[in-house]
Every structure is written in C-alpha cells, then in structure tokens.
Amino acid sequence: MQRVYEERGTGELWLVDTKAQTVLVYRRSAPQVPTFDVELELGAGDALASPQLPGFALAVDGLFAG
C-alpha cells in the first residue's frame, strides 16, 4: 500500500495497526529523495512526531486507550 503513496510523492505516511497497537511510519529523509527511505515502527511508550508537523507529538498509547 505504501508504494502508491510513495509513487504519488507523499512525504510521509502513517499506518495505524489497531491489532498490534503500533504505528508504522514511512517518510523521505529529504524532499528530493525519490522513495521512502526512513521506516519506523512505534508502539507503547513511543511518541509519534513528524518533521512535517513541527511541535506536534502524540503518545502512541493514547491512540489505543479506551
């Protein structure tokens, strides 16, 4: 699935896996990079932050609470 977003020039993609309670992050390290070259898997205790959204941070635990 991420290939479609990558081919269309998306700078960053977050995929939330509710069963595994993780967030997969795919991003380009720089705008001119042709493919996603950074891949992260975030889970409990991690914070989701992005260079695309300066100042934004979200506790991954908060996505799955309740």
Residue numbers of the domain that contains 40: 2-64
CA dist 61 and 47 (Å) reads: 8
Sign of the Cα torsion 57, 61, 64, 66 reads negative
Q: Is the pLDDT of residue 34 over 80?
A: yes
The model's pTM: 0.90
- Summarised one tens digit per residue, pLDDT across range 16-27 is 999 999 999 999
Q: What is the pLDDT, as a whole number, of residue 59?
A: 96
The b/e string for 29-55 (b: 16+ C-beta within 10 A; e otherwise) is eeeeeeebeeeeebeeeeebeeeeeee
Q: How confident is the model at residue 66 (pLDDT cuts 50, 70, 90)?
A: confident
Q: What is the pLDDT, as a whole number, of residue 65?
A: 84
> Looking at the 3D structure of the chain, how many domains does it have?
1
Mean pLDDT, all residues of the chain: 94
